[in-house]
Amino acid sequence: MLQSLIPRPRRILMTTDAVGGVWRYSLDLARELVAGGDTVMLAGLGPRPSAEQVREAQSFASLAWLETPPDWMTRDESALDRFPEEMQAIATAFAADLVHLNAPAQAARIDLPCPLVVVSHSCVVTWLHAVRGQVVAGDWAWQKDRNRAGFDRAGVVVAPSRSHAAMLEACYGAIPRLSVIHNGALPGPAVPRRESFALAAARWWDEGKNAKVLDAAAAIAEWPIYVAGPLDGADGQRACLDHCVTLGQVGHAEARRLMARASIFVSPSIYEPFGLAALEAALSGAPLVLADIATYREIWDGAAMFFDMHDSRALAQCISRLARDADLRRQFGRRAARRARKLSLQAQAAAMREIYDRAATAVAER
């Protein structure tokens, strides 16, 4: 009886933004859902996407852009007040039968009759906890209450790793209906041979990406460290990288080509709820050198080389050890690739469809 009330295929309205990892997560997942018969409308918040991003999204999904900023890009909670009305209008016009929100704050005051799934990719509260050992206060204090309200409103809450789920509950208290689904990624391009450099890719203005340790390691590592990603943030943040080879902002396709060319991929992050760049690099067969944080241990233990996230010398030693030993690079590259293949988009989409079923069943049982 209840299964007959759960529509398949679905019309899914999914939020996104064009700034960070949520864009890649939402596009890759949406593409896989569409391949399985669903229809997806992407509703974006914040700075508008590039022409390249628009072309990619519209090749398989519909795309709309809202006036509301992402919650993490404003200190003024009232800037989010129009979001429920904007989403209601899009959900009605699109005839959505499920809404997938990629930030818990977006669910706080929304009132839609269809099932509601919330995915927490990151938040200011857990970022402060991990990066600075602080509790949210001052201009950001409203974030905790709004996110908590979003968790309570959701039919199901999803975290991309067990470590992030644990951090959410450490910061917010128990979250009913919380599930963990690891992200997936597309296979990367192949290149004839790898080159003698290490690659790191992130939004380097973000303190949690640990640019200072990376740059100090680059000053003494045996191979150069190429760095892809922006150095400047919208609020005046700036990462200073004097010893790395900075490439600036690069498109996703170019980033994947760099991962295939690089002989080592490095992530010094202090805070990573999942770490999609590491997965993409591993799918290209690059050996991984990762900060020893809970998320990376959960996903890559036994398949990567780890270093103390505060120790630039230890990072440089890992890079130099791999640089001197081609057999060791091949060994770690194969380990990373084997682990990465278990984190497929097909598996992620199948798990998310089960989550959608649970959320739909909960609505049908009301």
pLDDT, tens digit, 9 for 90 and up, residues 6-58: 557 999 999 999 987 899 999 999 999 999 999 999 999 999 999 999 999 99
- The structure tokens listed for 75 are 């200190």
**What does the CA dihedral 131, 270, 203, 179 come to, rounded to 10 degrees?**
-90
Domains 3-184+344-364 and 195-341 share a fold: yes
CA-to-CA dists, residue 34 to 146, 254, 294, 330, angstroms: 31, 25, 33, 36
Cα separation of 296 and 302, whole Å? Answer: 10
pLDDT, tens digit, 9 for 90 and up, residues 148-206: 999 999 999 999 999 999 999 999 999 999 999 999 999 988 888 999 999 999 999 99
What pLDDT was estimated at residue 142? 94
pLDDT, tens digit, 9 for 90 and up, residues 201-223: 999 999 999 999 999 999 999 99
Query: What's domain 195-341's architecture?
Result: 3-Layer(aba) Sandwich (3.40)
**Which of the listed CATH numbers 3.40.50.1700, 3.40.50.2000, 3.40.50.620, 3.55.40.20 matches domain 3-184+344-364?**
3.40.50.2000
Q: Are 332 and 338 in contact (CB under 8 A)?
A: no
| Residue 140's pLDDT band (cuts 50, 70, 90) | confident
Cα separation of 252 and 359, whole Å? Answer: 32
Instruction: List, as one string, the DSSP characters of 197-262.
Output: EEEEES-TTSGGG-HHHHHHHHTT-SS-EEEES-SB-TTS-B---SSSEEEES--HHHHHHHHHHE
What are the domain boundaries of the chain? 3-184+344-364, 195-341
What pLDDT was estimated at residue 272? 97
Q: Is the dihedral of CA 237, 67, 109, 275 positive or negative?
A: negative
What pLDDT was estimated at residue 4? 44
Question: Which of the given ranges, 68-82, 143-157, 179-193, 225-239, has the highest pLDDT on average?
Answer: 143-157
Tell me the mean pLDDT in the region 295-310. Answer: 98
Within the chain, strands assigned E span: 11-17, 39-45, 62-65, 98-101, 116-119, 156-159, 178-180, 195-201, 225-228, 245-248, 262-267, 288-291, 305-307
Q: Residues of 296-320 as b/e, b for ≥16 C-beta within 10 angstroms? A: bebbbeebbbbbebebbebbbbbbb
